[in-house]
């Protein structure tokens, strides 16, 4: 697009025009293209090597369907739990001062850093049958957490909630605090300010955080297999099914990965359309 107006406009306007229609700066375009290639090529590898004729049959396999259903259900549950716990935590981190706030923020990001398998062992040490809390749960209520679907959700919350917290905290810090202050001077309580002003303002950040969190939960493997084990129907999510298939039949593993990929893309695209149209 080369916009050359018949009469030269005033100097500031011309500069603006050039900024909009000038050539794209290659210092940005080249790395961006490299980034896309790096992220997309592995998918292309999956797509090319997939045994497409088997796809329909695999999709009708009851074990695959139950793993897929379990994955979608647990990832969604984990996202809901993360929203209920993570948004208030993000607000505390962004909007209040309390002793040890920096430490808390650092600790919240620990699950991002440690290998998920270690996270799973840590969960076992706390909530396992002989864990610090788990012993009491077992003795007082007869509840054992490991090897249950609840354990799958807990493992996912453990690894995925930090994504939500960081994302929401970022939007809270970026939001214009004058609206909140105005509401407060007009007599709104802190809770009202949060629900009526803050929350609507950072909704896009919360949505982005929830999507990240859901996607991370959907792909969770290490903490899940360590803390919740692997049993078809109750704790075998798609990533676990993919890993197990990889042991015997790598082609089947490719098909399962693609199924997970396509379903998660479909869900995310549908949600996005709904948000955009709403």
Partner 1 sequence: MPETFPRSRAAGRRPSALSLIAAATGLSLAATACGGGEADEAGRDQEGGNLSGELDVFAAASLTDVFESLAADFEDEHPDVDVVLNFAGSSELAVQINSGAPADVFAAADTATMGQVTDDLGLDPDWAGEHGEDGALFATNTLQIAVPPDNPAGIETFDDLAEEGNDVAFCADEVPCGAATTEAMEAAGTDVTPVTYEEDVRAVLTKVELGEVDAGLVYATDVVSAGDRVEGIDFPEAEEAVNDYPIGLLSGAQNPEAGQAWIEHVLGGGGAELDAAGFGTP
Binding-site ranges for partner 1 (CB under 8 A): 115-118, 120-122, 124-125, 128-130, 135, 138-139, 142-144, 146-149, 222, 225-226, 228-232, 234-236, 243-248, 250
Close Cβ partners of 5 (under 8 Å, ≥ 6 residues apart): 17
Beta carbon of residue 124, minimum distance to partner 1 (angstroms, whole number): 5
Cα–Cα dist 265/171, whole Å: 25
- Closer CB to partner 1, 170 or 232, in the complex: 232
The minimum distance between CB 243 and partner 1, in angstroms, equals 6
Would you say 143 or 267 has its CB closer to partner 1? Answer: 143
Say what angle helices 62-95 and 238-248 make with each other, to 10 degrees.
130
- Give whichever of 198 and 226 is closer to partner 1, judged by the CB atom: 226
Q: Which lies closer to partner 1 via its Cβ, residue 170 or residue 229?
A: 229
Closest CB 142 distance from partner 1, rounded Å: 4
d(CA 162, CA 185): 33
Distance in angstroms (rounded) separating the CA atoms of residues 44 and 37:
10
Instruction: Specify the 3-state DSSP secondary structure of 277.
Output: helix
Residue 141 CB, shortest distance to partner 1, in Å, is 8
CA–CA separation, 51 and 49 (whole Å): 6
């Amino acid at each position: 697009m080369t916009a050359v107006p018949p009469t030269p406009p005033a100097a500031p306007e011309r500069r603006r025009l050039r900024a909009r229609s000038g050539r794209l700066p290659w210092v940005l375009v080249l790395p961006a293209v490299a980034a896309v290639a790096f992220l997309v090529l592995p998918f292309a590898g999956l797509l090319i090597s997939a045994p497409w004729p088997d796809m329909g049959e695999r999709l009708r396999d009851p074990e695959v369907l139950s793993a897929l259903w379990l994955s979608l259900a647990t990832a969604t549950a984990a996202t809901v739990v993360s929203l209920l716990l993570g948004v208030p935590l993000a607000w505390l981190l962004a909007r209040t001062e309390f002793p040890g706030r920096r430490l808390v923020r650092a600790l919240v990001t620990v699950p991002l850093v440690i290998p998920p398998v270690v996270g799973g062992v840590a969960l076992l040490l706390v909530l396992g049958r002989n864990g610090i809390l788990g012993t009491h749960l077992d003795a007082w209520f007869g509840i054992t957490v490991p090897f249950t679907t609840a354990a799958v959700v807990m493992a996912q919350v453990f690894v995925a909630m930090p994504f939500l917290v960081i994302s929401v905290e970022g939007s809270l810090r970026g939001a214009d605090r004058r609206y909140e202050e105005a509401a407060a001077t007009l007599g709104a309580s802190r809770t009202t300010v949060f629900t009526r002003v803050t929350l609507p303002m950072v909704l896009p950040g919360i949505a982005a955080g929830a999507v990240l969190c859901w996607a991370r939960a959907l792909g969770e493997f290490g903490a899940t297999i360590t803390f919740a084990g692997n049993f078809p129907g109750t704790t075998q999510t798609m990533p676990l099914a993919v890993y197990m298939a990889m042991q015997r039949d790598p082609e089947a593993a490719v098909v399962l990965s693609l199924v997970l990929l396509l379903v998660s893309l479909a869900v995310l695209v549908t949600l996005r359309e709904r948000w955009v149209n709403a």
